[in-house]
Amino acid sequence: MILNGVEIRDSFAEAFPMIGTRLIITADTAKWAMIAAKTMTGFATSVIGCGCEAGVERVVPESETPDGRPGVAVLIFAMDLNGLKAVVPNRIGQCVLTSPTSACYAGMEGGDAISIGKALKYFADGWQISKMVGGKRIWRLPVMEGEFVCDHDTGSVSGVGGGNFLILATSRLEALTAAEAAVEAMQKVEGCILPFPGGVVRSGSKVGSKYKGMFASTNNFYCPTLRAQTETKLPPEVASVQEIVIDGVSFDAVAACTKAGIEAVVALGREKGVVAIDAGNYGGNLGPFHFKLREIMA
């Protein structure tokens, strides 16, 4: 399959089950809502080393937030329910409770409950107040600034982690330019996050390592500098590869996000240095979700 001079390789991205939740963070200004959201989702690129994967999903207008203030929706994913229950209140407590003028609300219903105020109320040292609003419990915690308001808990969903595609290009600048175009398009798809820095991964990995205790290591098959020393999947003209990893609330959300990103890259075309689109998989042994590139782009 060739689209605008770019080869869509006959491959698939292999993804795995995760459990996730959405939070709505608000503040007096859009600036401070985003600061709280970005701080809360920091150091959350991969469950391999961070314990969770998280990112900003979208900006939420005042007309859609529970308290009528500027908001930001974030998604957080972990490998299991216990992991998610551990990281969510910790991150809210350290990064949202502490952030000026912030509040934190449930962003989804259904599924297993994930604590927000249920866990954070103890910080108030007995001065906390709960109230039922619209059939939901909220908590008010006194802080030096005034009050921190949050929902009792939020819902959860069985999600998909590790969707991905690779951009093969003739130079580092062209690979990154294409990746930036993809990220811009993909961030418009609701229900997904791109957890890595700026949405882009330069250090794509493979499962396993020659070193004991390493769960993942550099994907030597796609490293241009190793072309002469190892088996390679890169044609001679490719000098740089960038990867984009996608987590989502459903298979369909990740598929839609993948398609949006590849379409943006293909729009640049071969004349902008994009040679091919590929994907990372491990023969189907890592996860049950397979995003077949040619089917998505058909």
**Minimal CA–CA distance to 195: which of 49, 95, 25, 86?**
49
Mean pLDDT of 179-204: 97
**Cα angle 43, 80, 185; round to 5:** 50
Reduced to 3 states (helix: H, G, I; strand: E, B; else coil), residue 123 is helix
Q: What percent of the chain has pLDDT over 90?
A: 95
Q: What is the pTM of this model?
A: 0.94
Neighbouring-strand partners of residue 29? none
CATH number assigned to the domain covering 2-14+159-297: 3.30.70.520
Which pLDDT value is given to residue 207?
A: 87
User: Looking up tokens 């989804």, which residue turns up?
Assistant: 108
Read off the pLDDT of residues 225-250 as tens digits, 9 standing for 90 and up: 999 999 999 999 999 999 999 999 99
Q: Which two tokens stand for residue 30?
A: 């859009």
Boundaries of CATH 3.30.70.520 in the chain? 2-14+159-297, 18-157
Inform me whether the pLDDT recorded for 56 exceeds 90: yes
Q: Is the pLDDT reported for residue 286 higher than 90?
A: no
pLDDT digits (tens, 9 = 90+) for 69-109: 999 999 999 999 999 999 999 999 999 999 999 999 999 99
Residue 215 has pLDDT above 90, yes or no: no
Task: Assess contact for 100 and 145: CB atoms under 8 A.
Answer: yes
Residue 118 tokens, joined: 């249920």
Provide the sign of the torsion angle of the four alpha carbons 276, 282, 283, 286, taken in this order. Answer: negative
Region 18-157: CATH code: 3.30.70.520
Residue 285 in this model has a pLDDT that exceeds 90 = no
Single out the residue of 38, 19, 151, 137 nearest to residue 86, CA to CA: 19
pLDDT of residue 83: 97
